[in-house]
Amino acid sequence: MADAALVLTGPPSLAPLLARGALLSPFKRPAPDAEFPRTRLVLPGLRVDLARLAAYERVCGFPTGEDALPPTYPHVLGFPLAMRLMSGRDFPLPLLGLVHTSITVTRHRGMPATGAYELAVRVEGLAPHRRGTEATVVTEVREGGDVVWESSSTYLARHRTPRPAGAPGAPGAPGAPGEEVRKPLPTVAEWRLAEDVGRRYAAASGDRNPIHLHPLTARLFGFPRAIAHGMWTLARCLAAHGTPDSCHVRAAFKAPVLLPGTVTYAAENGRFELRNGDERAHVAGDVYPA
């Protein structure tokens, strides 16, 4: 049965959704066979706030002032709709501590920053993961009735599970983005990341997950310091790499980037990585023409 569509009159406000998700998190019982919301949220007639877009471009390293959306910005536009779904009572995974583990993006053509778009977001399903349960959230952006951008993101809720290591969807499992055994990528640049990167990205994107904002709130979830948003690390890599108007991107978020910190950006032939001083990958992915 097709998902029922709920048409919204405006973007949901993120602060109440974050608060609702936080309050409901202790009562969630995540499991891969749990029921999940089947509603597809639709937001027509969306126009981009150019001031927020410029703040996003600055924090991520994209050029500013161009009439073009960066390849990752539609994720920001769809985030409030995804949050409405994931903060609801009928979403089985706790919002607090939810980890973005991977994303695939297809941009079918260039997207003017001054265009009008229709967003649609839905939860596609749940799957077992060796560390818990993973949800897949799909976002589509239409312009003039045509899909011009689409993505599929996975979010992990950690909990006890008998799922063995090497199960599909687990880090290191065959077929996961960026997990193929390939020759090391050559270093392109070293980036020193300031302590406030998480707060600056949160202000530009609206994603104010406490693990990104301050060492004290990050410690509540087991991190010694605040960590960078996964989508910031991907955006920063794509800003350095460059993307054609029509492109396909996939990325796996492998390890948190602690703030402040120093990371190495490596890239070659469409592949890219962000690594730490021990050569451990934080994010690995590729980009190629669609």
pLDDT grade for 175, boundaries at 50, 70 and 90: very low
Q: Identify the band that residue 178 occupies on the pLDDT scale cut at 50, 70 and 90.
A: very low
Is a pLDDT exceeding 90 seen at residue 167?
no
Least trusted range by pLDDT, from 36-40, 64-68, 181-185, 228-232: 181-185
| pLDDT of residue 170 exceeding 60 | no
pLDDT for position 36: 96
Answer with the residue of higher pLDDT: 54 or 163: 54
Low-confidence winner among 41-55, 156-170, 198-212 (lowest mean pLDDT): 156-170
In this predicted structure, the answer to whether residue 23 has a pLDDT above a threshold of 60 is: yes
Q: For 103, how many CA atoms within 13 A lie in the half-sphere containing its CB?
A: 22
Q: Confidence band (pLDDT; 50, 70, 90) for 181? A: low
pLDDT at 42: 98
Residue 163: pLDDT band by 50, 70, 90 thresholds? Answer: very low
Report pLDDT for 279: 80
SS3 131: coil
Residue 277 confidence class, pLDDT cut points 50, 70, 90: confident
Q: In what order do the strands lie in the sheet with 146-158?
A: 5-7, 40-47, 116-129, 132-143, 146-158, 99-107, 247-253, 281-289, 271-275, 261-268, 187-193
Give pLDDT, residue 162.
73
pTM score, two decimals? 0.89
Distance CA 213, CA 221 (A): 12
Q: Percent of the chain scored above 70 by pLDDT?
A: 92
Q: What is the mean pLDDT of residues 128-157?
A: 96
Count CB neighbours of 229 within 10 A. 24
> Does the pLDDT at position 44 exceed 60?
yes
pLDDT at 25: 95
- For the chain, the average pLDDT equals 91
Residue 154 near residue 102, CB atoms below 8 Å: yes
Query: What's residue 210's pLDDT?
Result: 85
Are 141 and 147 in contact by the 8 Å Cβ rule? The answer is yes
